[in-house]
Amino acid sequence: MVPARSLAVTPGSLTTTDFPWIIEHREERCTLCGHCTAVCPKGAIRLAHLRQRLPKLELFSNKRGSEYRTFTGIRQETDPAKLCIGCGMCAMVCPNEAIGPVAGTNENRTVFFDNRKGEPLKRGGRRNVSGPTLLDRMLFTRISMLTDPALDAGRHEFSTTTTIGRILSPEAFLERTLRGEWIPPTRDIFPFVIGSMSFGALSPNMWLGLLQGVAYCNEVLGLPVVMCTGEGGCPPWVLRSPYLKYIVLQIASGYFGWDEIIRAIPEMQCEPAAIEIKYGQGAKPGDGGLLMWFKVSKLIARLRGVPEGVDLPSPPVHQTLYSIEESVMKMIQTMSMAFGHKVPVYPKISASTSAKAVLNNLVRNPYAAGLMIDGIDGGTGAAYNVSMDATGHPIASCVRDCYLDLTAQGKQNEIPIFAAGGIGKNGNVAQNGMAMIMLGASAVHIGKYVMQAAAGCLGNEKNRCNVCNLGICPKGITSQNAKLYRRLDPDKVAERLAETFMSINTEMKKIMAPLGRSQSLPIGMSDAIGIADKAAAERLQISYVC
Amino acid sequence: MCRLALKTANEPFSPYEVLTAMEAMQEGYDGSGLGLLLRGIEFEDFRYNPLFPILSGIAHTEKAWHRVTEYMESRGYELKYDHRFAMKPELIDADDRFRYFMRAYRMPKEFRDRSHNERESELLRTRLALRKLGRDEDKVTVFSFYPDVAMIKEVGWPLQIGDALCLHDGQIKSRVCMAQGRQNTNYGINLYACHPFFIQGIATMTNGENTAFVPIRDWLEGTKFPGYVGYQSDSEVFTHILHYTLKKLNLPLQAYKHIITPLSTSELDRHPQGEFLRGLRQVCRRLIIDGPNAVIGTLADETCLLVMDQKKLRPAMVGGRDGVWAIASEVCGVDALVPDRDQALDFQPMREHTVIIPPHRKELEIWSQHDPLPLPLAA
Ligand code: SF4
Ligand code: SF4
């Protein structure tokens, strides 16, 4: 045995089997074209020059017995900084199926090095817990069997829209109509909203593709889909375009992009769909938005009114105000006024045990147009891993409590609750969304699902990829590097988005028809759902089925 | 699927007529119950003053019966008439029916000069208090307490129940009679689950299944209006929505259809009061019904109405002539109720229609949701 000193072993020395993703390279197929090493976003593979000894037995010669061959091959880096993220881009570009990542089966040693330079792991994606979610386990059990004829999802007319905006009580509505007084603005929208993903977090091509797709859904398919900008403003030409009506503008604690928006108000051709004031986010409660310097390109810098190449962390709270109650009240009022009281304004908070308190404040605020609650399974472009994995509250029980609270006050029609966080985590987007609606949500927001469905995002809850924060998105979805985002064709994203929403719409009808519902979205129809989990059924006040 | 029959005529008639007509449609119910509501009442042995509220219900034991009597006295009601059914109890399946009551009272003194609303709400409070009066072993079931309205509900075959209560003896007649032969759909057989449902002069009965029941019930309960209770049947909300439309929102009868089955956005775009109706749809969104339904109703002034669900998934038919009209689930029901009519004038309402038989009973009013709403405020 060799003394340890003579080997270059440092605390960070690991071998590939310690890694979550191991590259398998089949030398005999490789033509050394170099595509894989060029495409790898992490520099996790390199072209290596290797030397092989070929021992030779020469009995009748006094020459030394070995010969050496040098050759080139592809090898995985073992520096934790160059960890393979399993994105599979190398496999995608290899013309000979010579390379690809496989999930490591050994325990993952690299997690112990996720704190290099004293910085804990930051990443994109969402809570790394895989397997069926609570929403995945919900069944639509109240099938309308006794009374024929049943509904036909393919032929009957279904109303699948919902309302965003403060709704008056019927009495107040009639009284105000009679007196010609102000009626709060509302919009009829598709109940699956593209959740807030900023221009900055997303690449220009991704954003453009989404916008194009949304316009197509509205103008050609007749599906009133809206998308939320996230914090970071909105391109000036969009602000002045007729597409603004499909956009929910978000204002968050960094106020990025709002100079541009305020300046554009007099020139707007139409009103935005709504204004979302972000107080919290499910993926990282108590933390502000974060755009890391890699992604602050010239375009982003201009849009946000900041210098290029600096980290843009938004503060966790809206600094200018004392308490959340006051903040919510004043900001909602101010934003509502800025748009002539013609645009619904609602806050977004992270799901928490205190959500009900916020909701009850909103009930008393005549300008509050709803409440958006984002649960622990929500995605993000950048956050500390610990926030994502361990901080927050699951969405289902939080929304259910809020809905039941409103119901007890007879206000469930007046303040719509929007739910987000893990809707479609395992692909069951319509089922998850409709289950949330039956628990009491008026609509759901989907972000990560849209990236996965419309742009082929590779991230998952086994921590595959999830490098959205670094600006090296191999699909060009969350990168500001033109070399990368040019990989993403906005037209294709738009096409996929339209396909996605068409299919959600059909699945909604397939869920509603057997329940005998077609006239209105089954909001709060809790008698329709059941779950084979006693504790969950009791907590959510739905039926236990087995 | 249940079967419904309604007859309204200028000349009072016996409820037994309606029960016999129901036999024509008998394959549509399974004998789980009968509900009857009478308006414009005449008793053979008493000159009834239509201002006196009538209390209808069942005292299941003698004790319960005394409790009701005492309670009404203590609340200051003066008994004017106590109808006694010539009973054939052997025809009733249930054995805990001590007495079916139908009693006319005079309002307590302090209410005699009060406003209509105050008197109505006193009657409602009394009815609810009586409902609570029963105990597990001494049950009281109260169907209605209102001037000129009497109700009977029982489990079993409609005609058999009519025979048990000797409804053919001409002791009771009325100008309006609603009857439902029940087929049990959702919930266990319960007397309170039988149609028609009644609240403050408004009654409806339904053939169908209201799949949006739970969210509607939750919303109505949230209004905290004392009468919005019960909900042993998914159809009870239809009555309460009608009550809410007429009495709480003070909207005309035609608005009912706009609330339970609003027009689609594209239809509203073409409607003269589209903007108002879009607002109404939104604020009353939790009252949108769903599923296949035909709703038949009557109001205190003897107006009768019929509306369908938004897709017209249930049959219902109206026919008749000047002075006498019938609404039934099937044409054979209408035939049995008003045989001598011009069949060519029968009408099957479509999804947008509200059929109204006004109190004068001269002709039908057929009103479409696409017509302007008779509403000064929306103009
Ligand atoms: S899977 Fe992705 S990160 Fe890993 S080597 Fe291949 S391209 Fe690089
Ligand atoms: S593909 Fe892009 S957006 Fe998806 S996880 Fe990877 S870096 Fe993030």
Q: How far apart are CA A209 and CA A478, in angstroms?
A: 13
Does any ligand 1 atom lie closer than 6 A to the CB of residue A85? Answer: yes
- Cβ contact, residue pair A186, B377, below 8 Å: no
Q: Are the C-beta atoms of residues B119 and B113 closer than 8 Å to each other?
A: no
d(CA A457, CA A473): 9
Among B306, B203, B285, smallest CA distance to B246 is for: B203
Residue A323: pLDDT over 80: no
Angstroms from B146 CA to nearest CA on chain A: 26
Task: Report whether pLDDT(A262) > 60.
Answer: yes
- Residue A360, phi then psi, degrees to nearest 5: -65, -30
Q: In chain B, whose CA is at the least distance from the CA of A176? A: B377
At A300, the amino acid letter reads I
- CB contact under 8 Å between B284 and A170, yes or no, is yes
Question: B115 in a domain, yes or no?
Answer: no
Q: Which ligand is nearest to the CA of A36?
A: 1
* Residue B37 maps to a domain: yes
Minimum CA–CA partner of A438 in chain B: B215
- Which residue's CA is the nearest one to ligand 2's atom 8? A468
CATH of the domain at B221: 3.60.20.10
Positions in chain B short of pLDDT 50? 185-188, 378-379
Ligand nearest the Cα of residue A474 is 2
Q: Considering the domain boundaries, does residue B204 fall inside one? A: yes
Q: What is the pLDDT of residue A325?
A: 73
* pLDDT interval class at A254 (50, 70, 90): confident
| A471 Cβ closer than 6 Å to some ligand 2 atom | no
**What are the Cα distances from residue B252, in Å, to A168, A397, B219?**
20, 41, 22
To the nearest whole number, what is the mean pLDDT of chain A? 91
ipTM here: 0.91
Residue B84 touches partner A, C-beta closer than 8 Å: no
Residues of CATH 3.20.20.70 domain(s) within chain A? 138-544
Q: B278 is in which domain, residue-wise?
A: 3-48+148-368
Q: What pLDDT, on a 0 to 100 scale, did the predictor assign at position B1? A: 54
Chain A contacts to B (CB-CB under 8 A): 142, 144, 146-149, 151, 156-157, 159, 161, 163, 167-171, 173-174, 177-178, 183, 186, 188, 407-413, 515-520, 522-528
Which ligand sits closest to the CA of A126? 2
Q: Is the CB of A468 under 6 A from ligand 2?
A: yes
Q: How far is A153 from chain B (nearest CA, A)?
A: 13
Nearest to A517 among B219, B244, B290 (CB): B290
Cβ–Cβ below 8 Å for B282 and A186: yes
**Residue A348, ligand 1, Cβ within 6 A:** no
Indicate if ligand 1 lies below 6 Å from the C-beta of A90.
yes
* CB A450 less than 6 A from any atom of ligand 2: no
Q: Report the pLDDT averaged over residues A404-421.
A: 95
The per-residue pLDDT for range A470-518, each reduced to its tens digit, is 999 999 999 999 999 999 999 999 999 999 999 999 999 999 999 999 9
| C-beta contacts of A166-169 below 8 A and 24+ residues apart | A166/A344, A166/A366, A166/A367, A166/A368, A166/A369, A166/A370, A166/A414, A166/A415, A167/A413, A167/A414, A167/A415, A167/A416, A167/B282, A167/B283, A167/B285, A168/A414, A168/B283, A169/A414, A169/B283
Q: What is the pLDDT of residue A152?
A: 85
Confidence of residue A4 (pLDDT cuts 50, 70, 90): low
Nearest CA among B218, B185, B180 for reference residue B198: B180
Given an 8 Å threshold on Cβ–Cβ distance, is A147 in contact with B224?
no
Residue ranges of alpha helices (H) inside B43-102 are 62-74
pLDDT at B379: 41
Chain A contact for B170 (CB, 8 A cutoff): no
Q: How many domains does chain B have?
A: 1
What pLDDT is stored for residue A147 in this prediction?
Answer: 55
Give A294's pLDDT tier (boundaries 50, 70, 90).
confident
Specify the pTM: 0.93
Model confidence at A149: pLDDT above 60: no
CB of A41 within 6 A of ligand 2: the answer is: no
B311 CB neighbours in chain A (<8 A) are: 151, 156-157, 518
For residue A445, what are the contacts with CB-CB under 8 A and spacing of at least 6? A192, A193, A194, A195, A196, A228, A372, A374, A418, A419, A420, A423
Q: Is B352 an interface residue toward A (CB < 8 Å)?
A: no
Q: Which of A339, A314, A353 is nearest to A230 (CA)?
A: A314
List of residues 6+ apart from B99 with CB closer than 8 A: B58, B59, B65
Residue A482 dihedral angles phi and psi, to the nearest 5° = -55, -35
Closest-lying ligand to the alpha carbon of A478? 2
Higher pLDDT, A68 or B257: B257
Given a cut of 80, is residue A459 above it in pLDDT?
yes
Strands B53-59 and B172-182: unpaired
Q: Is A459 in the pocket of ligand 2 (CB under 6 A)?
A: yes
Distance CA A118, CA B345 (A): 88
Average pLDDT over residues A88-92: 96
Q: How far is the CA of A434 from the centre of ligand 2 (A)?
A: 27
Backbone φ and ψ for B24, nearest 5 degrees, come out as: -60, -25
Q: Per-residue pLDDT averaged across A34-57, rounded?
A: 90
Cβ-nearest to A412 among B209, B218, B283 = B218
pLDDT of residue A118: 93
Q: Is residue B221 part of a domain?
A: yes
Quick check: CB of A45 below 6 Å from ligand 1? yes
Inform me whether the C-beta atom of residue B209 falls under 8 Å from chain A C-beta atoms: yes
CATH topology of domain A12-112: Alpha-Beta Plaits (3.30.70)
Query: Which of residues A58 and B56 earns the better pLDDT score?
Result: B56
Interface of B with A in 295-334 (CB under 8 A): 310-311, 313
Cβ contacts below 8 Å, chain A against chain B, sum to 109
Is there an atom of ligand 2 within 6 Å of A210 CB? no
Task: Considering chain A, tell me which residue range(s) the CATH 3.30.70 domain(s) occupy.
Answer: 12-112
C-alpha–C-alpha distance, residues A399 and A375, integer Å: 9
Q: How far is B325 from chain A (nearest CA, A)?
A: 28
Percent of chain A with pLDDT over 70: 96
Q: Decide which of 3.20.20.210, 3.30.750.200, 3.20.20.70, 2.30.330.10 is the CATH code for A138-544.
A: 3.20.20.70
Are A439 and A399 in contact by the 8 Å Cβ rule? The answer is: yes
Q: Please name which of A285, A534, A543 lies closest in space to residue A439, comparing C-alpha atoms.
A: A543
pLDDT at residue B40, as a whole number:
94
Contact B280 A173 (CB under 8 A): yes
State residue A316's pLDDT score. Answer: 78
pLDDT digits (tens, 9 = 90+) for A173-219: 999 999 999 999 999 999 999 999 988 899 999 999 999 999 999 99
Q: What amino acid is encoded at A356 in this protein? A: K
Cross-chain Cβ contact A177/B212 below 8 Å: no
Distance A76 CA to ligand 1 centre (A): 9
Does B373 touch chain A if contact means CB atoms closer than 8 Å? no
Quick one: pLDDT band at residue A3, thresholds 50, 70, 90?
low
| β-strand partners of B106 | B78
